[in-house]
Amino acid sequence: MPTEQELKDLVREKYSEIALQDKETNMSSCCGSGCCSDEVYNIMSDDYTQMEGYNADADLGLGCGLPTEFAQIKEGDTVIDLGSGAGNDCFIARSATGATGRVIGIDFTEAMIEKARANADKLGYNNVEFRQGDIEHMPVTANLADVIVSNCVLNLVPNKDNVLKEIYRVLKPGGHFSISDVVLEGELPSKLQGVAEMYAGCVSGAIQKEHYLELMQSNGFKEITLQKEKTIVIPDDILDKYLTQEEIAEFKNSGKSIKSVTVFAKKPEPEACCAPGCCS
């Protein structure tokens, strides 16, 4: 079983390659993993092209939802995007925050940071920045963000509990997140669970939806809301690489599924002090 660090190194290596691929290659695969399908285009990602702030150069087709669409970003907000890639969600968030807001993208892949910074320079945005770092140890101060977004990234992180603790630390009291991710309902076939391409492609690193939501609750988040959910169908020509025809049929008939979900939750405000003398 790979260690957490080995999994992180795998993801960093794969996403360094993905940064150099074109959008069509990424979107026809499992989040750019390279296990390309001739059957289905756009296995994971949703269409960003009609959203204000969309930038084609920053769209690598790697997402599994539209978290910025649901994130309730207001003018002047400070927004952090976890796993910011080439910057597309940051630029869409910037269109909502306006010139008075601030957007910070965090990614631990140097090639992605370089690409995002080049895109920001071309757009002339002086309130969008990109920082290289691990989202388990975010390079930002506590209580900074009004909103955190992330698109198909937490499933790539071995220790999701650590990321949620960091999200809680970095959000302002009363701040919120909207995160799109891949989760499971039922166990994946064992042959898929440890496959490197499938892990870097967002699937084998996913956890059960119920556990995913429980982690948010156990880390103190409130008003946890499932904003969107869709079933991800992995085409047969990808499954053929890992499973026999009998195993594929069994998987399809098992009721087990891979889901893309977008989840909203808030960091609560501090409780008011009501007891006599408690605020002195």
Q: Which pLDDT value is given to residue 28?
A: 45
- On whether residue 271 sits in a domain, the answer given is no
In a domain, 272, yes or no: no
User: What is the pLDDT at residue 48?
Assistant: 83
Residue 40 has pLDDT above 50, yes or no: no
C-alpha of 164 from chain center: 12
Is 274 inside any structural domain?
no
User: Which of 65, 66, 76, 92 lies closest to 172, judged by CA?
Assistant: 76
Q: Which of 13-22, 103-112, 218-227, 266-275 has the lowest mean pLDDT?
A: 13-22
The answer to whether residue 20 scores a pLDDT higher than 70 is: no
For residue 163, pLDDT over 90 is answered with: yes
Position 41 scores a pLDDT of 41
Whether 16 is in a domain gets the answer yes
**What pLDDT is stored for residue 188 in this prediction?**
80
Q: How high is the pLDDT of residue 82?
A: 98
Among 31-40, 121-130, 249-258, top mean pLDDT goes to: 121-130
**Domain assignment present for 276:** no
Mean pLDDT of 152-158: 87
Q: What domain count does the chain have?
A: 1
**Cα–Cα distance measured from residue 161 to residue 187, given in angstroms and rounded to the nearest whole number:** 20
Q: What is the pLDDT averaged over residues 243-256?
A: 90
How far is it, in rounded angstroms, from Cα 237 to Cα 40?
A: 9
- Confidence (pLDDT) at 87: 95
29, HSE (Cβ side, Cα atoms, 13 Å): 23
> How confident is the model over 62-70, as a mean pLDDT?
90
Beta partners for residue 145, in sequence order: 171
Position 195 scores a pLDDT of 63
Mean pLDDT of the chain: 85
Q: Is the pLDDT of residue 94 over 70?
A: yes
What's the whole-number mean pLDDT along residues 137-147? 98
29 pLDDT more than 60: no
State the average pLDDT over residues 235-247.
Answer: 85
Is there a domain that residue 126 lies in? Answer: yes
Report yes or no on 279 lying in a domain: no
Residue 8's domain is classified under what CATH number? 3.40.50.150
- For residues 259 and 233, the model is more confident at 259
**Residue 167's pLDDT band (cuts 50, 70, 90):** very high
Check pLDDT > 80 for residue 19.
Answer: no
Short-list 217, 194, 216, 214, CA closest to 205: 194
Distance from C-alpha of 269 to C-alpha of 254, rounded to nearest angstrom: 43
- Tell me, yes or no, whether 45 lies in a domain: yes
Rounded average pLDDT over 54-73: 89
Mean pLDDT of 108-118: 93
pTM for the structure as a whole: 0.85
Residue 132 lies in domain: 4-266
The pLDDT, as a whole number, for residue 59 is 85
Pairwise CA distance, residues 134 & 145, whole Å: 17
pLDDT band at 12 (very low <50, low <70, confident <90, very high): low
CB of 171 within 8 A of CB of 177?
yes
